[in-house]
Amino acid sequence: MSDWKGRVDADMMRTFPTGQALLVRGEGTQVWDEDGNRYLDFLAGIAVNSLGHAHPAFVAAVTEQAATLAHASNLFNTPPQLELAARLKRLAGTGEQGRVFFANSGAEANEAALKLARRNGSPTRTRVLSVNGSFHGRTMGALALTGKPSLQEPFLPMLAGVEQFEPTLQALRDAIDDTVQAVVLEPIRGEAGVRMFPDGFLAEARELTRAHGALLILDEVQTGIGRTGTWFAFEQEGIVPDAITLAKGLGGGFPIGALVTFGAASELFEPGQHGTTFGGNALATAVGSAVLRTIEDDGLLDNVRERSAQIRSAVASWDSPLVDHVRGRGLLLGIQLTAPIAAEVQRAAFAAGLIVNAPAPDTIRLAPPLIVSAAEVEEFSSVLAGVLSRFADETDRKATA
């Protein structure tokens, strides 16, 4: 075995703990480590690998575009960039007035969205609202939007004018007024433990922002690109936001982000007010189009909905005392546990050949590739049910000891 952990300690910035394994290869929903151990990937790089690993469409797009034109700077436009922008507008239903700004990540897309919010300003309109427990990124603007004091504290002071409120309708009603530039929300708060808003919350947020002249900006970095069973989560709420941010699944593993605007919000930026060197380059946008085209052509939204129902049914069939319920939509699901043992369950699942994660002490997050099959859901169910059964048995032994 190589000394990869020593190399991590010696060479990598200590912003993350050492990884669970040194992964060397992936195919479909499976990955392998340097020792040849195989894992079923039910996290997809945290909702990134829409088409799984080494999908032929992804490989072809990278190979062909890299051999043609990878990067040309923002002084020029390229066919892949224009194709992806038009495709995103069509899928999001922006109409002709919609516009797209390409970035390199979700945090960068949210930085662009925050600057867009500032453009909806005036001498008295100076506030941007987001939700406690939200996660919008770790760059300074995105971190100000992120409602997690533990992440913000080492980097205080935060950007002025950004405030958080509790994720309730009454708290939103109390917080919003004509001084608000924008309300920024995740349709599902993945990093908080796949938390849902109360029914009708986003619809009322749309009405309140419209009434007060504020923008409604939805962070669809984790929920977008088919992850919840529709192209974008906002479609399931019967609303049209002023802007959405995208990343993760858009590139299927290749770094890309986007800010997509609707209606009058598309006119807020003026030339020179925002930019990027790498964002929207030909290679990234060619891959993005290949991902979207494959999801569309292969009917993967149907697969998301079918596999989601299968996972829910499988979890219910375990009848485990450690499982309270499943929440989320599509293939962004959280298994609520009855004890704060999610981290231990995650480690035990990994040892048994299954990759999931624990975004909260009592929640297991599932975000498999959109290509996941019925047989792979059965394998997931068998492995995680077995892990939970062992934990339940251990709990019983301790209780009777």
> How does pLDDT run along the chain (401 residues), one tens digit per residue?
579 999 999 999 999 999 999 999 999 999 999 999 999 999 999 999 999 999 999 999 999 999 999 999 999 999 999 999 999 999 999 999 999 999 999 999 999 999 999 999 888 999 999 999 999 999 999 999 999 999 999 999 999 999 999 999 999 999 999 999 999 999 999 999 999 999 999 999 999 999 999 999 999 999 999 999 999 999 999 999 999 999 999 999 999 999 999 999 999 999 999 999 999 999 999 999 999 999 999 999 999 999 999 999 999 999 999 999 999 999 999 999 999 999 999 999 999 999 999 999 999 999 999 999 999 999 999 999 999 999 998 876 676 65
Of 354, 370, 350, 355, which Cα lies nearest the Cα of 308? 370
φ/ψ of residue 152, rounded to 5: -80, -35
Residues 257 and 324 in one domain: no
Angle at 291 between CA 137 and CA 219, to 5 degrees: 25
Are 128 and 248 found together in one domain? yes
Listed in sequence order, the DSSP H helices in 213-341 are 282-297, 300-318
Q: Are 203 and 237 in contact (CB under 8 A)?
A: yes
Specify whether 175 is located in the same domain as 284. yes
Q: For residues 346 and 358, is the Cβ–Cβ distance under 8 A?
A: yes
User: What pLDDT was estimated at residue 395?
Assistant: 73
Q: Maximum distance among all alpha carbons in the chain?
A: 71
According to DSSP, residue 269 is labeled -
Q: Identify the pLDDT of residue 331.
A: 98
Structure tokens at 67: 């051999």
Per-residue pLDDT at 358: 98
Phi-psi region of 280 (alpha: psi -120 to 50; beta: other; left: phi over 0): left
Tally of domains in the chain = 2
Q: Considering the entire predicted model, what is its pTM?
A: 0.96
- Beta strands at 180-185 and 127-131: parallel, antiparallel or unpaired: parallel
Instruction: Answer for the pair 369, 380: CB distance below 8 angstroms, yes or no.
Output: no
Q: Are residues 293 and 172 in the same domain?
A: yes
Find all residues with CB under 8 Å of 238, minimum gap 6, and list them. 203
CA 214 vs CA 100, 274, 321: distances in Å: 20, 21, 45
> Which residues does the annotation place in the binding site for pyridoxal 5'-phosphate?
106-107, 135, 219-222, 277
Same domain, 146 and 8: no
Bridge partners of residue 243, in order along the sequence: 217, 261
On whether both 44 and 66 belong to a single domain, the answer is no
Pair 367, 52: CB distance under 8 Å? no
Q: Which residues are annotated as a binding site for N(2)-acetyl-L-ornithine?
A: 138, 276
| Same domain as 123, residue 34 | no
The SS3 assignment for 365 reads: strand
The answer to whether residues 90 and 199 belong to one domain is yes
Domain that residue 167 falls in: 57-298
As annotated, the binding site includes 106-107, 135, 138, 219-222, 276-277
Shared domain check, 193 and 64: yes
Three-state DSSP class for residue 197: coil
The answer on 259 and 176 residing in a single domain is: yes
CATH of residue 284's domain is 3.40.640.10
C-alpha pair distances (Å), 151 with each of 93, 113, 136, 154, 155: 35, 20, 11, 7, 8
